[in-house]
Chains A and B, each alone.
Chain A
Amino acid sequence: MTQLTLKINGQSHSIDADPDMPLLWAIRESVGLTGTKYGCGVAQCGACTVFVGGLPVRSCSMPVSAVGADEITTIEGLKSKEALAVQKAWVKLDVPQCGYCQSGQIMSATSLLEINAKPTDRDIDLAMNGNICRCATYVRIRAAIHDAAKSLEG
């Protein structure tokens, strides 16, 4: 067990953890932020997506000790205008069904809009195909990303 300090959503958390433990469990169980989900544990589904140093990572496959001093952002800490536009579009188009994958979807969609203000369908395919939705809400995910991009045009 090792003492580690994680900076999550602007707050510092000291935790005592196995250095090999995936970041996912530190976020969910040590810190108690449960919006980030466990879906596969092997970087296949994207349900565990968070930002580390501003970039999306699969937290199920990153050892907690590898984070270092990088800032972590979870679904609970989203603040950028892109993130808010994405969340608004998700509600407007009633994207979620069971909802379990949607934190991960929203993290990936936010990241896409932060680097590409006007994504094409192909850009969306490339950015989002690491996120599985077993309820297959993909039609609305695509529509909501376009909708969010449009709303950001002002």
Chain B
Amino acid sequence: MSGLDDIHVSVTDIDESDGRLRENVHAILHEIETLLDALLQTGETSAIDIRSLPLLPGDYDALASALGTGEISAEFDGGSGPTVVVETGTSGVWWVTHYNDENEIAAEFIEVTRIPEILMSQDDDIQDSLKGLRERLQNERSH
């Protein structure tokens, strides 16, 4: 990779004044502000598909650092690649990254919610477990 490193490219910020938020990040934070307000007022949850945003090189990292890191992170892998759910430093805002089974990012969302639905136990799965548990108890009784 040394060849590539020899080519000096510096991307200047569209917003050249130092210390201020990048334009895209600013716009997304505004949207999040509206969504957070709605969550508090009406309980309405929402999500932003990060892959649908025309992000500038560097915007992604800037957005992540603007939102910060919160207290909770969780990971699961049900056989189709891991999903990583992280609470950002902005309470009520979660960063959800779905990987495929080759560990590439398949989809990525910012969710505005008290807890992302994907972390909750799902009725279908609870039913299956209940059935399994009952069968086990049944078997033990007949022994």
A and B: real partners? no
